[in-house]
Amino acid sequence: MTFLDTVKFDEQGLIPAIAQDAQTGRVLMVAWMNKEALQLTADTKRGVYWSRSRKKLWHKGEESGHIQVVKEIQLDCDADVIILQIEQLGGIACHTGRQSCFYRTLDDNQQWQIVEPVLKDPHAIYEHPKHDH
């Protein structure tokens, strides 16, 4: 039995994975992992996910250089959500060039307000920006 046997993957063989800054606790992104991605993440101590749009493994930072160094892997009580405590190299987790994918806040008028600046133009990061999550 391996640690993967404890994990409850959904009917598509996936589990949501939350990447959280290990120092600040800020949620940087949510993505998906399959068994191979989770095993590779555990083996390499780097964030590896399953890209649902591209239907292939996605090594975070392979195009942008914004690699996630994994400090700890946590499994919730129901064994169906992963949290990765990470160090985000380059300080940018989002494909929009922001620190976090969670850069919009709902205001009192129920309008989404952008509350975080773009740290780097996505066109300078990627040849063509991708939307993975």
In a domain, 51, yes or no: yes
In a domain, 132, yes or no: no
Tens-digit pLDDT profile for residues 97-127? 999 999 999 999 999 999 999 999 999 888 6
pTM check: above 0.85: yes
In a domain, 67, yes or no: yes
Q: What is the CATH number of the domain that holds 8?
A: 3.10.20.810
- Check if the beta carbon of residue 8 is closer than 8 Å to that of residue 82: no
Q: Which amino acid is at 23?
A: Q
What's the number of domains the chain is made of? 1
- The tally of CA atoms less than 13 A away on the side-chain side of residue 37 is 25
- Whole domain around residue 23: which residue ranges? 3-125
